[in-house]
Structure 1
Amino acid sequence: MQLFVLNIDKKLILPVLLVFFSFFYLSAQSGFRLISDKDYHTVKFRLISNLIVLPVEINGVELSFILDTGVNRPILFDLTSADSLKLENTETIYIRGLGEGEAIKAYRTRGNVMKVRGGVVNENEDLYLILDQYINFAPRLGIPIHGIIGFELFRDFVVEINYSRKRIRFYRPGTYKHKKCRRCETLPLDIIHNKPYLKADVDLNGRKGVEVKLLIDSGSSDALWIFEKENEGLITPKKHFEDFLGRGLSGSIYGDRARVEKLKIGKFELPETKVAFPDSISIQHLQNLNERDGSLGAEVLRRFNVTFDYHGKKITLRKNRYFKEAFKYNMSGIELQHNGIRVVKELESGIRRGQSGNSGNEGVSIRLDRLLKYTLHPAFEIAEIRQGSPAFLAGLRTGDVILSVNGKSTYRYSLPEVTEMLNVKEGKKIRLEVDRKDKVLKFSFELKKML
C-alpha cells in the first residue's frame, strides 16, 4: 500500500455547500469520450440548492454526483446506499482541508468504468474515496449524493449548461460553434491548476469597479466569496453579520456575510449581490490563495445559461429567467437537515361491506371506518441556528425536529419546500411545532430581513 499526503482545497460548505478539491495528476488518464458518433450528448439534471446533480454510473452502479468546476478528480464520499459497488486497486492517501482539524484518511482506487447517463464514458478512471461520516451532502440537500465530478468532463468536452431547462450537453471539442446574441457575452477564461477563473468587478465600501479574480465554482451553492485583502480594497463592509459558513474537511468554517453594492461580469450587472468573507483561520490551508480574490458560486451562475470551453479558454454567459431574482439571505436563522426518520400516525378512511341481516330484504350494508396508518418519514432537524436570529431569540435550538410550519405538517413536503416555508417574506409570522427530546413544543417569530 502506497501512502500519499495531499493538501486539498476542500470545503463542504453546508448549508452553503461550497466544494472544491485540488489534486495533482499522479498518472495519465484515458479520458472521457462520447459513446455514440454524434457530436454531443444531452443529460437532464436536478437543480437542488443551486447545485447540478448528475446521474453517474460507476462500475455498473448508478449514483448521484454534483458537477463541480472546482474539483480536480472524481470523489466518492457516501456509499451507504451503494453497497454493491466494487472498487479495486486501492491505496491510502491523507487529505487536509479547510478548518482547524487534522488531515483525514482517504483511498485512491484505479481502473474504474465511469459513465454519465449512458452517453459519456471513461473506462480507466481514478476515484478518491472518503469514508468520513461527516462528509455527506444528503442530510442538507434531502437526496442521496454520492460524490463530486468536475475537471475531467470540462477538459474533454465543451460543456453547455442550461440552468433554465435543467439540461447539460457535452460537445466534442472542435464541433461546437459559439453563438452570438444580444443576451450573450463571451469572456476570457483562465485555466490554472485545472480550475477555471474569470475577472469581474465589484462595487464595495463606496469604491466602484474593484477588479477581482474569481474561481468559478459550480459546486458552491453560495453567490460570492471574497478573501480580505486590505491593500486591494477588499474589506468586509461595516454592515455585516457573523455566521457559520459551513464545515470543511478539517473542521467548521466561520466568517462574515454582507453585500457588495454591485457585481459586474462583462456587461452583466447584479446589484446587491450576497457575499461571504471567510475568516483567516478557516482558509489557512487553502492552496493558491494569492492567485485569486475569491470564488463565484452557483447562486450567480444559475442566473445564466453557461458554456465552458476549456480548449478555447473562454466562457459564454447568456442571462436566463433567473437573472433578475433578488439575492436573499436566510431570514429565520434556521438551517435544516434530514436526520433519521420519525413515525407518523395518520387516520385514513376504510370501507367495509357485508350482507344485510334481514332475509326478507337482501342487500349490502356499508360502514365507513377510521383506520390508523403508521408511516415513516424523514425528520427535519435544525442543524444550525444563527445567534441573534428570530428563531434563536424565540427559543429554538439545534436538534429540534420541526413537525409543522404554520399548521402544515412537514412530513408532506420535501426539505427544500420546508426551507422555503421558513423564508417566505419579511414580516411573515412563523408558527412552529417541534419535537425536543420527545416533548412537543410551540414557538412563533417574525421573519426579519438581513442587511
Structure 2
Amino acid sequence: MKFWFVYIFVFLSAGGHIQAQDDFVLNANHSRKIPFKLINNVIVLPVEVNGVALSFLLDTGVSKPIVFNILNLEDSLQVKKSEKILLRGLGEGDHVEALRSRGNVFKIGEVFNINQELFIVHNQILNFEPRLGVPIHGIIGYDVFRDFVVQINYGKKYIRFYKPESFEPKPCNRCAELDLEFYRNKPYLRGEVAIGSQKIPVKLLIDTGGSDALWLFEDDSLGLVPDQPYFKDFLGHGLSGSVYGKRSKIAAFTLGEFTFHHANVSFPEASSISYVREHKTRNGSVAGHILKRFNLYVDYPRKRLYLKKNRYYNEPFRYNRSGIELEKNGFMLIVGEQGGKTGEGLALKPAFMVVELRENSPAQQAGVKIGDVVLSVNDKASSEFTLQEITHKFYGDNGKKMRLVLDRDGQIIKMAFRLKSFFKE
C-alpha cells in the first residue's frame, strides 16, 4: 500500500465570453483501454496535443485544458496564441496570466477533438514535476467527460470512453449509484460526515486532481470544525499559490452505501479558498485518496456516478509520520554505485530535497532542515529509489526508526529519528 503527499487543485475562471467548442469524437461504441499512471493518488494520462505526446493530469475540478511546463516543446506544439487572459485558483496569490489558444487537435486513445480550446501558462508555479517526480505538461477535465461515460479503473490503472447511448451499467451487488450535480461544469455529489456525535450532510466537489482524501470548509454553524487533535500543515499548490490548513481525522465519511471510519480530513485556511467559496452550498471536496478505492463509471450526460470497491478499498488512512516533504531538485552525480559497492562509471540520478518540514515533527526535532538533500534512507542510497518510494517510507509504522544521510551545503550529516503518529490509529 502507498500513501502520498502532493495535493494539487486547480480551478479556472476567465473573463469574457468563451465560445462553445467542437466536441470530442469516438467513432466506435467504446474505446480501447487507455493505461494511466497513478501517482500520489492522481491520474497521469497520455494526451497528444497537435501531434506531440504529453502527460496530463485528469482533473474533474478543471473546466478547460491548461498547458504548462512546455518551454522546450512550444515550437513543436505549434499552438495558435490569441489573447491574454487571467486565471484564478486556490492560494493566496494574485491571478495568473495565460494565453488562450483555439483550433488545437487533442487525442486521447481513440477519442479526439480537432478544434480544442486550451490555456497556456508559463508561470513556473504550475511545474508539478518536482513534487510528482514525472513530467506533467497539463491538466484536462470537463471537455473529455461531458459527452461520454468515462470508466476509471483505479485498480488496473486504465480509463475507457463509452458513448452514452451504448452504455448500460451491469448489475452489481457491491456497487453504488449516486446522483451528480453540476456548477460551472464541475461535478458534485452528496455525502455525510460524522464529526463527534453529529452526522452532517455535505455537498462535495469530485476532484480527481487532488490526492488528499477529504477537504472540508470550516463552518461553525454546520458543525464542520475539527473535533479531534489537528496539526497545521502545507496542503498543496493551487493556481494562485500555496495552500495551508489543518489536518485532522473525522469519525466517519459516508458515500452512498460505503462508510470510511477515522478518515483523513483537511480544513484549508479561508484565505486560500476565497475564490471557490463563491459556490455557497459547497462544503468541500472528495479527492484521490478516497476515489481510488473504487472503480468508477462517470456519466456526465445522465448525471450519474457508479462506484465499485477495488483492491485499495481497505487501505488505512495515514499521514506522513516524519514531517518531511521532498521534491526532485536537479540531479546528483553518482560515482560507480552498484549494489552499494564502488565500481566504475558515472551516472546522473535525481536529487531529493527537503522543501517542507512540519513544525515539531520527528524530523524537525532531530535536526533536519529545509534545503537538505537526502543521500540515503535506512542505509540504502536515495538514487535507488523513486520519489514516491522514499515518501512511502515516511508513512511507515508508528515507532519505526529512520536513518538518513543528508547533504547540507556540502557537509555530510547523519540523522536518526522514529516515526510518530499524531493520532491514535
In the superposition, the TM-score normalised over structure 2's length comes to 0.94
Aligned match of 2:119: 128
User: How far apart are 1:64 and its partner, in Å?
Assistant: 0.1
Shift, 1:300, TM fit: 0.4
**Percent identical:** 45
Corresponding position: 1:271 with 2:261? yes
Which residue of the other structure, out of 195, 201, 214, is the alignment partner of 1:211? 201
Quote the residue 2:190 is aligned against.
199
The CA deviation at 1:394 is 0.6
Alignment match, 1:233: 223
Q: What SS class does the counterpart of residue 305 from structure 1 fall into?
A: strand
The answer as to whether partners of 2:9 and 2:90 remain within 8 angstroms in 1 is no
* Pairwise CA distance, 1:85: 1.8
Q: CA deviation at 1:348?
A: 6.5
Call closer, same or farther: CA 1:179–1:402 in 2, change over 3 Å.
same
What CA deviation, in whole Å up to 9, does each residue of 1:97-127 have, x standing for no partner?
332222221111110000013x110000011
TM-superposed deviation, 1:347 = 5.4
Task: Tell me, yes or no, if the aligned pair for 1:23 and 1:72 is still in contact at 8 Å.
Answer: no
Relative to 1, partners in 2 of residues 1:267 and 1:348: Cα closer, same or farther, differing over 3 Å? closer
Structure 1 stretch 18-27 or stretch 412-421: which is displaced more?
A: 18-27
Alignment partner, residue 396 of structure 1: 368
Partner of 1:105: 97
SS at 1:140's partner residue?
helix
Which amino acid in 2 is paired with 1:391? A
Larger radius of gyration: 1
Q: Alignment partner of 2:270: what SS? A: coil
Supply the distance in 1 between the matched residues of 2:266 and 2:228 (Cα, whole angstroms).
13
Q: Choose which of 423, 439, 443 in structure 1 pairs with 2:411.
A: 439
**1:327-384 deviations in whole A, cap 9, x for unaligned?**
11010011111011111111569xxxxxxxxxxxxxxxxxxxx853111011011111
Q: Provide the rounded CA distance (Å) in 2 between the counterparts of 1:341 and 1:325.
A: 33
SS of residue paired to 1:228: coil
Is residue 406 from structure 1 mapped to residue 378 from structure 2 by the alignment? yes
For structure 1, the residue ranges without an aligned partner over 5 or more in a row are 1-12, 350-369
3-state SS of 1:258 partner: strand
Amino acid at match of 2:6: P
Name 2:297's counterpart in structure 1. Answer: 307
Counterpart residue type for residue 218 of structure 1: T
**C-alpha distance after superposition, 1:400-427 (max 9, x if no partner):** 1100001000101111011112222111
Amino acid at match of 2:358: R
In the TM superposition, what are the counterparts of 1:235-250 in structure 2 within 5 Å? Answer: 235-250=225-240
Q: Does 1:147 align with 2:138?
A: yes
Return the alpha-carbon distance in structure 1 between the equivalents of residues 300 and 282 of structure 2: 18
- Aligned equivalents of 2:178, 2:304: Cα separation in 1: 6
Helix, strand or coil at the partner of 1:180:
coil
User: Which residue type is aligned with residue 316 of structure 1?
Assistant: Y
Which letter maps to 2:197?
A: G
Provide the rounded CA distance (Å) in 2 between the counterparts of 1:348 and 1:406: 17
Given that 1:184 and 1:317 are in contact with CA atoms closer than 8 Å, whether structure 2 keeps it comes out as yes
Taking the aligned partners of 2:356 and 2:232, their CA distance within structure 1 comes to 13
| Matching of residue 49 in structure 1 with residue 40 in structure 2 | yes
Q: Which amino acid aligns with 2:20?
A: A
- Amino acid of the residue matched to residue 399 of structure 2? G
| Aligned CA-pair RMSD | 1.8
After TM superposition, the score normalised by the length of structure 1 is 0.89
Structure 2: give runs of 5+ residues left out of the alignment. Answer: none
Q: Which amino acid is 2:235 matched to?
A: L
